[in-house]
Chains A and B, each alone.
Chain A
């Protein structure tokens, strides 16, 4: 039985058409406003099983956050249905709200001027968490995130990464069954990103919580999720394993060659030359021709080192969105193209 079932979910809303620049136009805007409707999410459907960690990928304004907010019951779907843990989110029953948590990387819900511990206590009251459970959860999470005394420092004195950890603790205090994470690592430094990722992976394994996350950082997605739902212009363009995206959209690998002397000029013959710096050259080579290409190079040049890399996820996804393939999936996106979410 899936934890999240989404069936033909749609969200359309009205925005004021931005008036043209200039004085005259703003005078006109005083009296008349033009609206246009934006289809932020168009008939998307998917299911998520218990304990799964699924990534929501897509460019800005693709409809990721809008979908997440619909699942959290924050906004009404225009049509279609969504079920989470057997609840209809838009009814926002207290039972449902006790069972999920939403974390948004760009917003904080902790009291700015007080230690995080005080905010946790407040959550205990709001979610009516029994004291014994509260203590053990705080203890466990502090351990996992190695928080130490940080919970007793005013939140405003914490670094962004530490603050995000606190946000996560606050969100997990009531042991939610479903966790919605909207850009949880945005703006964090690499170390903090890695820590958060490790934490999420361990927490998910230990508690089998279902996680749906959006992120700009492909690293998050690669290390946490086996499955990704790619959304663009409010429509799902791919739903399946990350590896499948690579196979489907990345026909290439990257060859990194380190020559003994400066890289020879004709190296470009063996593939798309990405960069040459001294003795090092990076080439993009068709997946199927890796072996023959390598053989040909080794035949003629002396090499110090060779590495074969996957094309980075970022580039694949960017490629996915650039490629004509999706224009075929959603030909009528003239309006939706200006959709803004988040």
Chain B
């Protein structure tokens, strides 16, 4: 009960903090949709120059739907500033605060992230709804309820995986003084590997197969494809696919916990 109240307090403070940047909030939400506009036009021009009706298995409508769904995936899985924040706390010694107070650092960060995300959704859902309504023609229609349920679960897991992925990078700060360049390189690669830049199906041959086996896809590509192609899958296949994502989340969680514990030990041995 007390633990619950502790995290509830963190939650509401984070919420209040988020709301203070008001101009930024509206602007930021709006501006996030601008790349979609260019993407629509770019793919329009690509299909216009091609004699095919499908590219990498996508019709011109599906490709737009794909990019829109990627926006949704990323709204869940992207965690701006999390890794650099953790590394900063380690470098500046702020981490002592977590080690001396009866609070778990990762739990604290997760709680405040959830608060941040909820504020974001509460404001961003309006422009999201408008954009999706305007773009409804690109979608084939609502998927069946089981697919929808699997989709919602996959998004929740995308949030968890995104959080753990960034936390994993941040925890590297225990051993590396400066991780900002590394973060930049990893994020650039992630942009391609998670399917944010283009559908992973565009990559031909064994390389394409390999990319779709990597865990990065769960942060963007996987939920989007579940929504688009889920109807073609059996319930068993859906469950297996989501189970794979869950497995990935668990593996990441173990890895982060392990590295964090090692890091703390390393820190108290050398960093003090």
Contacts and interface: CB of A to CB of B under 8 A. Distances in A.
- Do chains A and B directly touch (beta carbons under 8 Å) in the complex? yes
Interface of A: 19, 21-23, 25-27, 29-30
Interface stretch (B16-24, B126-134, B143-151, B261-269): B16-24
A315 B16 CA distance: 42
B12 A23 contact: yes
Interface of B is mostly: helix
A30 B29 CA distance: 15
Contacts of A23: 12, 15-16, 19
Given A26-B19, A27-B19, A30-B22, 14 more contacts: A21-B16, A22-B16, A23-B12, A23-B15, A23-B16, A25-B16, A26-B15, A26-B16, A26-B20, A29-B19, A29-B20, A29-B22, A30-B19, A30-B25
Interface of A is mostly: helix
Nearest to B123: A30
Interface of B: 12, 15-16, 19-20, 22, 25
Contacts of A30: 19, 22, 25
A27 to B, nearest CB: 6
Contacts of A29: 19-20, 22
B116 to A, nearest CB: 14
B26 to A, nearest CB: 9
A21 B22 CA distance: 16
A23 B15 CA distance: 7
Contacts of A21: 16
Nearest to A21: B16
Nearest to A19: B20
A101 B32 CA distance: 45
Contacts of B25: 30
A262 B96 CA distance: 47
A333 to B, nearest CB: 29
19 contacts: A19-B20, A21-B16, A22-B16, A23-B12, A23-B15, A23-B16, A23-B19, A25-B16, A26-B15, A26-B16, A26-B19, A26-B20, A27-B19, A29-B19, A29-B20, A29-B22, A30-B19, A30-B22, A30-B25
A96 B38 CA distance: 50
Contacts of B20: 19, 26, 29
Nearest to B22: A30
Nearest to A25: B16
A19 B21 CA distance: 13
Going nearest first, the 5 A-B pairs with the smallest beta carbon separation are: A26-B19, A26-B16, A30-B22, A23-B16, A23-B12
A25 B22 CA distance: 13
A19 B16 CA distance: 11
A112 to B, nearest CB: 15
Contacts of B16: 21-23, 25-26
A27 B19 CA distance: 7
A19 B19 CA distance: 12
Contacts of A25: 16
Contacts of A19: 20
A22 to B, nearest CB: 7
A167 to B, nearest CB: 25
A146 B187 CA distance: 49
A22 B16 CA distance: 7
Nearest to B16: A26
Nearest to A28: B19
Nearest to B23: A30
Most buried by A among B15, B19, B25: B19
Contacts of A22: 16
